[in-house]
Chains A and B, each alone.
Chain A
Amino acid sequence: MLLKLTGGTVYDPAHGIDGQVMDIYVRDGRIVDRPREGERIDQEYDLTGKVVMAGAIDMHTHIGGGKVNIARTLLPEDHRGDPVDHTELTRAGCGHVAPSTLTTGYRYAEMGYTAGFEPAVLPLNARQAHLEMGDTPIIDKGGYVMLGNDDLFLRMLAAQKDQNAINDYVAWIIHATQAMGIKVVNAGGISAFKFNQRMLDLDEKNAYYQVTPRQVLKTLARAVYELGVPHPLHVHGNNLGVPGNVETTLNTIAGVEGYPLHLTHIQFHSYGTEGDRKFSSGAARIAEAINRNKHVSADVGQILFGQTVTASGDNMSQFRNAGHAHPDKWICMDIECDAGCGVVPFKYKDQNFVNALQWAIGLEIFLLVEDPWRIFLTTDHPNGAPFTSYPHLIRLLMDKTFRNEIFSRIHPDAQKMSTLASIDREYSLYEIAIMTRAGAARLVGLHDRGHLGVGAAADITVYTDDPDREKMFAKPDYVFKDGELVVRNGKVVKVTWGATHAVKPEFDRGIEKEIAKYFDTYHTVKMDHVKVTEQHIAEDGRNHVIVQACKGRRERTA
């Protein structure tokens, strides 16, 4: 099967291609250089005048795992309010801020996305997270597994175990949960919450284990680096949402001593304490730190105005914010001493000073960070806004007039506290392609995605160039997933099932003895029951695991 995509204007930043008219050939789901001698072209798409990019990748979106289900359970009105009918092809679903799995997959594909990564897979919940992602059609999936608040890791850290032993444990967890990377949420803080601590700064000790977030972060960042996992440690910082947390975030960047670090939803971690209301933008300082520290990347976690729900492993900050719940209901819980979970529905309002400034801070960070390879487009779905608002967000970044028009309508005091109106930058299509495709694929470690080079998987999105970028990105003309046409004119025309990406760093299996002993002594399940295998994921006959290489494994520490 050979496809020819003729005459599109291609944006492929991984190969430095910026708006070049060229043909693309796809054979059996992969991009090829040219047809073989005498090979027949089975299907040709005339893309003259169209914009062609790789399929977009959402590198941080909560689409699977227990907390999404809790959010669904908590918000029946969200489901009742947004029913989706079944069609000949697609199944019925519902939900705006916490849509059902099927609806999630269709909606992502209909926006030109071909992969999404769940950033908060709890080790003991990994099976459920994979089952749920396995029910998310069309797009590729993957997860970052949460460590840093689990009892075993904190015990090892408190006992000052050798870094190599910790590396082995981290690698074992990645294998056992079929993950793409490691995430740490409020390092040590989720655990500290259970010992009645309500705040935990970078150098404060966990009351029980006597370890600090700084130790947790450094040890995990180093483990991920030494194991050669391509995705740097994915950090949800301490003190989320607390005015003045910009200091914590800057200290976090300094605290990992040069190991690669990805700071997620950094907008929530960029608040100062200036002004009459003791709440101000730390965006300039954060952006400057990112610009200066090449080992650091970030995704923004932009908020957009309207109803949404925040779902996070960070029970400490979710408990702190529970009073703002709208509608007034929320859940915080422990999960198997592994981590925590907090679900708090939120309504961001443009006439609320704090919300309006949060909105401006996110955009300031987008526009002040110079390197689009190290800043990523997210709303931390659904925490800042549901992912369906990405086209709107892209327009805010690409259209200064539009941005300033909305800026002029937000709370006047927030306008006074923000420099947003003075920033002239507008993102180009090339830069958007970097942050949503090439950069995201490189950051996550998807070697064959996010670009249109020879050998890449044929995940391709075709848009009609439109000065209204919101309209353009909301409704692609064509979306190809692994060479199959799945979306035409913004509607699903074929349902495929995508795959699950994972990494398999090497490690010493001897660590299993210690882990098994721990599970036997303290846990409700046996170690072997926790492991999710590739067979389990492939069991339903439609999903399978794609192992991405751990390139650049570093020598173990002596």
Chain B
Amino acid sequence: MSLVRLEARGRASPAMVYLTPLLAVGLTLASGFVLFGLMGFDPLRALHAFFVQPVSSVRGIGELVVKATPLVLIAVGLAIGFRANVWNIGAEGQLTLGAVTGGGVALAFYGDGGWWLLPLMILAGIAGGMLWAAIPALLRTRFNASEILTSLMLTYVAVLLLQFLVHGVYRDPDGYSFPESRLFEDDALLPVIVSGTRIHLGALFALLAVAAGWVLIARTFIGFQIRVIGLTPAAAGYAGFNEKRIIWLTLLISGGLAGLAGLGEVAGPIGQITPTVSPGYGFTAIIVAFLGRLHPVGILLAALLMALSFIGGEAAQIAMGLPKAITGVFQGMLLFFLLACDVLIRYRVRFGRRRAAA
């Protein structure tokens, strides 16, 4: 019998469920303080360079929004699925497909675009992401294949498809055979909505997704079904809810939003199709979804925090020569503290031997 035991609490404090992310952030900052000190950097200056200075200009805040946009779009969609126990791990692939289809439309109409081009690209991007998510949905509902595996594996297929295209038909004919598409024309670019920054129309879509995601989960019958299936699948079965329909719906929603995020990258800050469209947004968004407690508003805040940790890592490298690995350390600490706090609000730590049951 060990000396330290975890004992389940009767009920987790509802206030703490929402407070723990803040507590985790606080603990991360405190540990960062110690860490910077141990590395021989002035901790206050380092934390300032990491968390304050990157967002102390309009351009900096703009970059934060640009970085958070795909994370919000993807995580809102994933969270809807996660609530129904539908584990779409392949958002990265759906994002890539969205870039391939939406960006492909831009290249197909290169030179004769018009006002209609951008809406068409957006629809194509969403459709591409949905198509890629439909495969795991079909395999799950038809053959009961785990969507965790199939969606993840399809990510690698999508990335290789992108490679194949940028080395082939998508390649810029005047580009010295380098694997990049032409730069998109203005008709094919998402307009910048705040001048002096790179914030593009996609940020607005992200906010819409947050609002729509909240309405869907909290205010509709579909949302109720999603929640019931997630909490007690058996009860959902007795109630006659169609689980297959929910699997299709949640995968198509999350795939479509990931596709939109991918289109937003190629038609937004990148402005062309390149061999790497995303530095792993589809996977980071999984962390964001859980950090945001699968709640759309929480996700919005979590995405901004995650974006800040990426941007801050670069800023700290430039300002103080801190190593890049610091970004990973901060993200790791954040998750560690969040999970640790979660354990502690659900369980009580007991020291010493268990007393004999009375």
Q: Do A and B bind each other?
A: no
